[in-house]
Amino acid sequence: MEAQPAPLQLPAPAQAQFEPNMEKIKQKLLKHGVFPTPKILRSIRKKEIQKHNRKQAKIQSQAQLSPSQQQALAEEQHFQTLKREFKMFRRAVAAKSGDPLVGKPWERIERLKFRQLASESKEFAGDNLKRENLRELKEMFEKDLNWVLDDDVQLGSDYFAKNVEWHPEKRWRSEAEAIRVLVDRLSEREMTAKNWKFVRIMNQSGLMFTEGQMLKLLKGLGDKGSWRQAMSVLDWVYGLKDKRDLKSRFVYTKLLAILGKAGRPHEALRIFNLMLEDCNLYPDIAAYHSVAVTLGQVGLLKELVKLIERMRQKPSKRIKNMCRKNWDPVLEPDLVVYNAVLNACVPSHQWKGVFWVFKQLRKSGLKPSAATYGLAMEVMLQSGKYDLVHEFFRKMAKSGEAIGALTYKVLVRAFWEEGKINEAVAAVRNMEQRGVVGTASVYYELACCLCNNGRWQDAMLVVEKIKSLRHSKPLEITFTGLIISSMDGGHIDDCISIFQHMKDHCEPNIGTVNAMLKVYSRNDMFSKAKELFEETTRANSSGYTFLSGDGTPLKPDEYTYSSMLEASATAHQWEYFEYVYKGMALSGCQLDQTKHAWLLVEASRAGKCHLLEHAFDSLLEAGEIPHPLFFTEMLIQAIVQSNYEKAVALINAMAYAPFHITERQWTELFESNEDRISRDKLEKLLNALCNCNAASSEITVSNLSRALHALCRSEKERDLSSSAHFGSQAIDISPLHGIHEAFDVKETENVPSSASMMFENADLGADPLPQKTDVAVDIDSINHSSLSRQADADTEMFSKALSYIHSNDRPSNLCIDMEGLADDWASSEHSDYLDKELAALYLSKQSQDNDVVGLQKSMNRVVGSQRSELPSASEILEAWKESREKDGIFFPFEHGKKSL
């Protein structure tokens, strides 16, 4: 039986691919203000097709479900329907019952009020909302509901006054309105691109951030001085995935201009370097001009020279988005760039750079402009090259360039610096004869020049010309500058005359008052300063005397109080000083401690200690660190009052302050206050410092401890030297406890009675008052110039042994055992040196006025004389040997020797 052939299966007809309605999409894009470019249309068409395919796939998947799955899907849809109906039912019940907080304890009362206000329907009917209700709602938001608008759009007060049809989905009427609101919101606070509020504000604006919109947005932020926000906007927008390929060179150039206006050269360099890394953003001549002017204004000359070299170089091979062939963006610097170089030479006084610029201009075939000559003159003026200032002025006149008023200002200043006043006046007259309209700055410079040289009456004629000019500063500022110029010239009477003449033309401002107070304080005219200060304070309280130019009463500032405090301190009027300080404290002003710390210190020494303490506490409350003079003066006051607890507290505070006081400074401080502090008080301070938990490891405290030890030791030496007497009187010398019976000197000649104090305590932390039986060695008292190098090495070993004893906290009155040292040295070649050494130690305290020659003669006489009653070195070593058997003290090298 033959098999039946399988029926031929024809392929199913292919379904037609879904095609979206492109005309409808175009109309929708145009309605939203987006031009339908082919790229945008292709992207939208692709997304619509994908959306349609996903929808069809979902439908097919539901058709292929089993009956149980279809039943579960139907039940889920039914549940969602019931859920929506139940929510509507709850809202209706809550509206009728009037208790919307039932079951919602987490909601705030402000949200409830806002919802009740929004749900009321009796105030309006239909879709029209009354304007009065909007104003009431606005007032409620301003008073109690600020938290609602914290992250939302804040509309201006004129928004509700206009007859505007408001739509909730479209907050702003146009693109310009959206940019204005966005600029206002961004400039109100400091936000970066990482802040979530910044991202939310940018998204709520509804802008597409095209090139034109970005330029307008950056311009608005630049006008408000918000350069940080401008950089954040640029980083955020061009950080988006769909905007990375749409970066614009013009937007980056606009940002460079904003940074230059704000005076941020380093940020501008960073943006400029980013432009150099991308072919689409590679800087053109406008970008070079912007960054060059920015660098020139702040004087970054080295960066400018590198910029010129960069202009003449080809781009790096690793540049991004390089898709052009034979692309050569190399540029040559023009006159704007070279003028920026001259501008950078002004603050750095690089007058040789002027000749380099003119040489480059000749090579490039560029002709210098009037600004070029003017900047060259400014550089030479700041560098003190006045002859070159006049030389460039002659070249400028010879070149045919129009000489402006600013050039004459530089010329007048140069004549002023040279002391040629008549030539400065002649230069201004020459300017007027040439028909150049003088500016206020030229006449102001001439007036200051005249006042500085004692010709204030001629300067008043120049001021009359300033009054006739349109764009000039207020006369108060002009007269204040003239007063300061006269004060710098030493013409005090002219300052007073200008001040009296000023009252006939305008009212003095607070700057003028401060200048006159400075004049009075520096010339011992306290009565006039007091009168002027009281007139100013009366004007502030009642407003009947001095008024500013706008009619408001003068208000003393911190400079006013500082000048009056200086005048009071100079005249030693401390009662009035206290009165001024109290007024300053009540007004909220604070003294500049870096400049006027000495005022409060002098007042404290004059008996106004409470003012210094108040300033000290005020600075600490404000989070500032008081001046070191405050600490030292308060420490001196605490010592004078015998308040050592307060003194120790101040010392502990100084230990952790960001400044250090050296030992020499401590010594000079105590010596300069000898009339206020006795040595007994210094000793008590030292004892209090040793008995407390002071930060002895800090530099300031350790330096203080050393200074106190040195001062107390020198005082005791002077006291003992003054009490010493010579003759046949018997002197009992007992330098060592337990060995005073070994020798007893009864009859001596020319031996001071202070010989019992011949050994000084080597440990700075020990008791500064040694007892009679104390044993200590003053290594510093040895005259090293009279000893050999080998003896110096032995002395160093001896001092190490003493430091070992004190490092183990041995009592100062402990008997020292020296058997090991005696055994080693007595049997060696050092025994003779030891005799001389100890004899020198005994006689080194004989007199502070003896020189090295006298000391050597005394040593030789004592050592060589057989009739001397002083104990020899061997007797002393024998005594130490006997004391060691009682106490058993060993040095480190003795332990090592015993172990061997």
* Residue 882 pLDDT grade (very low, low, confident, very high; cuts 50, 70, 90): low
Longest Cα–Cα distance in the chain: 164
Confidence check: pLDDT of 544 > 60? no
Mean pLDDT calculated for residue range 483-505: 91
Helix (H) or strand (E) holding 740: none
∠ CA 44-49-55, rounded to 5° = 125
Angstrom distance (rounded) from CA 384 to CA 1:
125
Q: What is the pLDDT of residue 336?
A: 93
* Residue 593 pLDDT grade (very low, low, confident, very high; cuts 50, 70, 90): confident
Angstrom distance (rounded) from CA 711 to CA 653:
23
In sequence order, which residues have a C-beta less than 8 Å from that of residue 509 and are 6 or more positions away? 476, 477, 480, 548, 549, 554
Mean pLDDT calculated for residue range 748-754: 35
Kindly state the percentage of the chain with pLDDT values over 90.
29
Mean pLDDT calculated for residue range 265-273: 93
More confident residue, 843 or 612: 612
Question: Each residue of 374-396: pLDDT tens digit?
Answer: 999 999 999 999 999 999 999 99
Q: What is the pLDDT of residue 875?
A: 59
Short-list 287, 288, 244, 294, CA closest to 264? 294
In sequence order, which residues have a C-beta less than 8 Å from that of residue 673 and are 6 or more positions away? 636
Confidence check: pLDDT of 159 > 50? no
Identify whether the C-beta of residue 329 lies closer than 8 Å to the C-beta of residue 315: yes
How many whole angstroms from its chain centre is CA 550? 35
Question: Each residue of 42-59: pLDDT tens digit?
Answer: 999 999 999 999 988 888
Amino acid symbol at 106: W
Read off the tokens for 398: 């010879």
Short-list 408, 441, 437, 403, CA closest to 425? 408
Angstrom distance (rounded) from CA 79 to CA 828:
113
* Residue 326 pLDDT grade (very low, low, confident, very high; cuts 50, 70, 90): confident
CA distances to 460, 498, 505, 546 from 549, in Å: 19, 17, 11, 10
More confident residue, 336 or 792: 336
- Which CB contacts under 8 angstroms, 24+ apart, belong to 559-562? 559/514, 560/510, 560/513, 560/514, 560/517, 560/533, 560/536, 561/587, 561/589, 561/591, 562/591, 562/592, 562/595, 562/596
Amino acid symbol at 31: K
Instruction: Give, to the nearest 10 degrees, the angle between helix 593-605 and helix 558-570.
Output: 40
Task: Using only the alpha carbons of the chain, give its radius of gyration.
Answer: 46
More confident residue, 114 or 530: 530
Task: Indicate the range of 174-188, 663-677, 746-760 predicted with least confidence.
Answer: 746-760
Helix (H) or strand (E) holding 206: none
Read off the tokens for 171: 């907050």
Cα-flanking dihedrals φ and ψ of residue 369, to 5°? Answer: -95, 180
More confident residue, 861 or 267: 267
Q: What is the pLDDT of residue 757?
A: 33
Angstrom distance (rounded) from CA 238 to CA 464:
56
Which range in 308-317, 564-573, 733-742, 826-835 is most confidently predicted, on average pLDDT? 564-573
Q: What is the pLDDT of residue 43?
A: 92
In sequence order, which residues have a C-beta less than 8 Å from that of residue 661 and are 6 or more positions away? 628, 632, 654, 700, 703, 704
* Residue 163 pLDDT grade (very low, low, confident, very high; cuts 50, 70, 90): very low
Helix (H) or strand (E) holding 105: none
* Residue 881 pLDDT grade (very low, low, confident, very high; cuts 50, 70, 90): low
SS3 at position 547: strand
Cα-flanking dihedrals φ and ψ of residue 127, to 5°? Answer: -100, -5
Q: What is the pLDDT of residue 15?
A: 57
Is the torsion defined by CA of 601, 607, 613, 615 positive or negative? negative
> How does DSSP assign 463-504, residue by residue?
HHHHHH-SS---HHHHHHHHHHHHHHHT-HHHHHHHHHHHTT
Helices marked H in 656-754: 663-672, 679-691, 699-723
Q: What is the pLDDT of residue 192?
A: 82
How many Cβ atoms from other residues are within 10 Å of residue 768's Cβ?
A: 19
Q: What is the pLDDT of residue 443?
A: 92
3-state helix, strand, coil in the chain (%, to 5): 65, 0, 35
Q: What is the pLDDT of residue 785?
A: 38
Angstrom distance (rounded) from CA 838 to CA 798:
12
* Residue 578 pLDDT grade (very low, low, confident, very high; cuts 50, 70, 90): very high
Cα-flanking dihedrals φ and ψ of residue 278, to 5°? Answer: -125, 130
Confidence check: pLDDT of 676 > 60? yes
SS3 at position 320: strand
Q: What is the pLDDT of residue 695?
A: 64
Read off the tokens for 238: 């061009």
Confidence check: pLDDT of 716 > 50? yes
Angstrom distance (rounded) from CA 602 to CA 584:
18
Q: What is the pLDDT of residue 871?
A: 53
Confidence check: pLDDT of 878 > 50? yes
Mean pLDDT calculated for residue range 179-195: 86
Angstrom distance (rounded) from CA 412 to CA 408:
6
Q: What is the pLDDT of residue 484?
A: 93
In sequence order, which residues have a C-beta less than 8 Å from that of residue 624 and are 6 or more positions away? 593
Which range in 4-8, 740-744, 887-891 is most confidently predicted, on average pLDDT? 4-8
Task: Indicate the range of 8-17, 111-120, 201-210 predicted with least confidence.
Answer: 8-17
Question: Each residue of 457-482: pLDDT tens digit?
Answer: 999 999 988 888 877 788 889 999 99
Identify whether the C-beta of residue 816 lies closer than 8 Å to the C-beta of residue 805: yes
Angstrom distance (rounded) from CA 111 to CA 408:
68
More confident residue, 211 or 735: 211
CA distances to 96, 346, 713, 864 from 761, in Å: 97, 63, 10, 29
* Residue 340 pLDDT grade (very low, low, confident, very high; cuts 50, 70, 90): very high
Token pair 């200060």: residue: 533
* Residue 590 pLDDT grade (very low, low, confident, very high; cuts 50, 70, 90): confident
Q: What is the pLDDT of residue 362?
A: 93
Mean pLDDT, all residues of the chain:
74
Question: Each residue of 345-366: pLDDT tens digit?
Answer: 999 889 999 999 999 999 999 9
Mean pLDDT calculated for residue range 679-706: 82
Token pair 């990375």: residue: 244
Question: Each residue of 120-136: pLDDT tens digit?
Answer: 544 444 455 556 667 77
Mean pLDDT calculated for residue range 794-821: 38
Amino acid symbol at 621: E
Identify whether the C-beta of residue 859 lies closer than 8 Å to the C-beta of residue 836: yes
More confident residue, 172 or 458: 458
CA distances to 344, 843, 870 from 753, in Å: 76, 11, 13
Q: What is the pLDDT of residue 110?
A: 65
Question: Each residue of 834-875: pLDDT tens digit?
Answer: 344 434 444 443 433 444 344 344 444 434 444 444 555 455
Looking at residue 779, the DSSP 8-state letter turns out to be G
Q: What is the pLDDT of residue 751?
A: 34
Short-list 677, 785, 766, CA closest to 713? 766
Q: What is the pLDDT of residue 99?
A: 58
* Residue 410 pLDDT grade (very low, low, confident, very high; cuts 50, 70, 90): very high
Mean pLDDT calculated for residue range 603-613: 89
Angstrom distance (rounded) from CA 332 to CA 580:
63
* Residue 791 pLDDT grade (very low, low, confident, very high; cuts 50, 70, 90): very low
Confidence check: pLDDT of 793 > 60? no
- With 0-12 / 13-18 / 19 or more C-beta atoms within 10 angstroms meaning exposed / middle / buried, residue 529 is buried
Short-list 199, 157, 208, CA closest to 178? 208
Helix (H) or strand (E) holding 306: helix 301-311
Confidence check: pLDDT of 495 > 60? yes
Confidence check: pLDDT of 762 > 50? no
